[in-house]
């Protein structure tokens, strides 16, 4: 297992209500995930409208809070956008950028994702940059070409700040489908990403690489045991306190 400290992040996506969130947070607190701090960091990313409440409820728990996106702009007439300084003001630590759902449903380009990562860093947030291929791209043996293209925009844009990010490999064909890349498949892509980062900057060799795509309590330990998998970006299982806690402990 990698000696790097693990990171497990729950992406709640567009789920939740005040009642649901309170129950989930109580479950996470009862699981005492802050006790994993010496070996693994834990964070959750609720919808924007609940960020303040969730951050306040988790204060002192050892669980950090992240956002599911961030605007390139710091302020101004950008209706519907949420700026980095606003997130920092709420105590948010991480910002997911370039999730496959954003790339697909909102046609976000590689360059826009890279610009969002830069904006996050400028306002004290750690961007979690998502990369990943579709099933058609994998079947066409294009996995490495796709993730290399997505990552290259970030490398070119961030320069010396590259070492300050987190990268999440999420094969699109494994998100919410119940299908999971085998530990060996995931490790192969993570090793490729590690090599690209190291080639770009020696300091980027230690960038945490997370795996996302139907991670569950029963497969988390095997995935996290791979030498270049440093944790997970968890979707559906993050909505169940017991499952998310089990995944965090596996890290």
Give me the phi and psi of 165, to 5 degrees please.
-105, 175
Q: How many CB atoms lie within 10 A of CB 160?
A: 9
Cα separation, 207 vs 128, whole angstroms: 10
Cα separation, 106 vs 125, whole angstroms: 22
Cα separation, 165 vs 208, whole angstroms: 8
CB-based contacts of 89, cutoff 8 Å, min separation 6: none
Helical (H) or strand (E) element with 219: helix 217-224
Residue environment code for 206-221, b if the CB has 16+ CB neighbours within 10 A, otherwise e:
ebbbbbbbbbbbebbe
Residue 106: active-site member: no
Question: Out of 108, 133, 170, 190, which one is annotated catalytic?
Answer: 170
Q: Which two tokens stand for residue 63?
A: 């669980």
β-pair type (126-131, 94-97): parallel
Question: Out of 53, 99, 137, 144, which one is annotated catalytic?
Answer: 99
Which residues are marked as active site?
A: 99, 170
């Amino acid at each position: 297992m990698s000696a790097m400290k693990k990171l497990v992040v729950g992406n709640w996506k567009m789920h939740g209500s005040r009642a649901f969130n309170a129950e989930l947070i109580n479950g996470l607190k009862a699981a005492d995930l802050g006790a994993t701090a010496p070996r693994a960091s834990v964070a959750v990313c609720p919808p924007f409208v609940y960020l303040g409440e969730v951050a306040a409820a988790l204060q002192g728990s050892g669980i950090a809070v992240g956002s599911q996106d961030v605007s390139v702009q710091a302020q101004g007439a950008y209706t519907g956008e949420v700026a980095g300084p606003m997130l920092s003001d709420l105590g948010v630590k991480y910002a997911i950028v370039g999730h496959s759902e954003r790339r697909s449903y909102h046609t976000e380009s590689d360059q826009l994702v890279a610009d969002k990562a830069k904006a996050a860093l400028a306002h004290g947030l750690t961007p979690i940059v998502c990369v990943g291929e579709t099933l058609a791209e994998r079947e066409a043996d294009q996995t490495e070409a796709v993730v290399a293209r997505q990552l290259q925009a970030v490398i070119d844009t961030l320069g010396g700040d590259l070492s300050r990010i987190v990268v999440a490999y999420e094969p699109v064909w494994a998100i919410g489908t119940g299908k999971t890349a085998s530990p060996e498949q995931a490790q192969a892509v993570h090793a490729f990403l590690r090599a690209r980062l190291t080639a770009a900057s020696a300091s980027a060799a230690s960038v945490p690489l997370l795996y996302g795509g139907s991670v569950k309590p029963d497969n988390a330990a095997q995935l996290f045991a791979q030498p270049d998998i440093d944790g997970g970006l968890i979707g559906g299982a993050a909505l169940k306190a017991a499952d998310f806690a089990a995944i965090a402990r596996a890290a």
